Structure 1
Amino acid sequence: MKVEREVTIAAPRETVWDFLWDVPRLAGCIPGARDVRTIEERKTYTAVVADKVGPFKVQFPLTIEVVDVQAGERLRVRANGRDAAVDGLVKVDLDVTVTAAETGTALKVAADISVLGKLGTLGHSVIVRKGTDIVDRFAQAVRAQLEAKA
């Protein structure tokens, strides 16, 4: 499932880009994220994301890898994890781009999300709704964090 969102942030492009590498602050924008740890700076991280998907409460220990960086412009990340309690597997390829906009900076978030196991049986509409909600909340939280500083 692919989800794309774009928000315009009233902050300079450099400020937005720097925020993407402030992992503790950025993680605070991910709904349900906690226990974020740096394994290798700017390469590998771990985190736990807890949420409710349909009737299931899930908790995914994630491994997050930075797969591509175009400094100041684009960041590609891959995350995957398994919730053993509900037999669910999630894989996310996240592509974040930062471009100049008339009123600040455009932040585009494109996510390709795969949900397997018991969670995958919930149906496409439930998964799409949850995935879209998470990406929306993430993009809005990033904007709120950055505009609060402006």
Structure 2
Amino acid sequence: MVITTRFELGAPVDAAWAYLLDVQKIAHCVPGASLTEVVDDKTYVGKVEVKLGPIGLSYKGRIVIENTDPASHTVRIKAEGAETRGRGGASALVTAELAASEQGTSVVMNTDLAVSGVVAQFGRTGVMQEVAQRMAQRFASCVDQELKAATAAG
């Protein structure tokens, strides 16, 4: 399933690009997520807790920045994880494109998400899309606030 999210950031595209590539700075902006290990400058280990309808799930996994293109402000990230109670897994290939806009930076994220196990049933009902959109909105709001604060601080 492909989920597309769009949002605006109130900072210039170069500042937003640098900030979004700093996984250690933005990890806490992903609702329910935390970093547990930095393997190298492109590989991270962490966990994320998410509630889908009546079910709370906890995943542990790895994030790899597969490709960055500073000229086009495009990044591709692969994430894979297993549900901690053995109830399935998830993988995502996320491509984000940044572009200058009137507000500062326009971001388009395409997430190709595959899930297995108990959570797979929620993909058919639209619950996963709703949760993903809500998480993306919270992420965007957090990053926008932090970018504005960093820009104001100089």
TM-score of the alignment, normalized to the shorter chain, above 0.5: yes
Deviates most, 120-129 or 76-85 = 120-129
For 2:52, the equivalent position in structure 1 comes to: 53
Matches within 5 A, 1:50-129: 50-71=49-70, 73-85=73-85, 87-124=87-124, 125-129=126-130
**SS of residue in 1 equivalent to 2:140:** helix
- Pairwise CA distance, 1:39: 0.6
Matched, 1:34 2:34: yes
Unaligned stretches of 5+ residues in structure 2:
none
TM-score after normalising by structure 2: 0.86
CA RMSD of aligned residues (A): 1.7
Q: SS of the residue aligned with 1:85?
A: coil
Q: How high is the TM-score relative to the length of structure 1?
A: 0.88
CA distance in 1: counterparts of 2:141 and 2:3, whole angstroms: 14
Runs of 5+ unmatched residues, structure 1: none
Change (3 A) 1:8 1:132: closer
Q: What's 1:14 paired with?
A: 14
Separation in 1, partners of 2:67, 2:61: 18
Aligned equivalents of 1:2, 1:135: Cα separation in 2: 14
Count the aligned residue pairs.
149
Seq. identity, % = 26
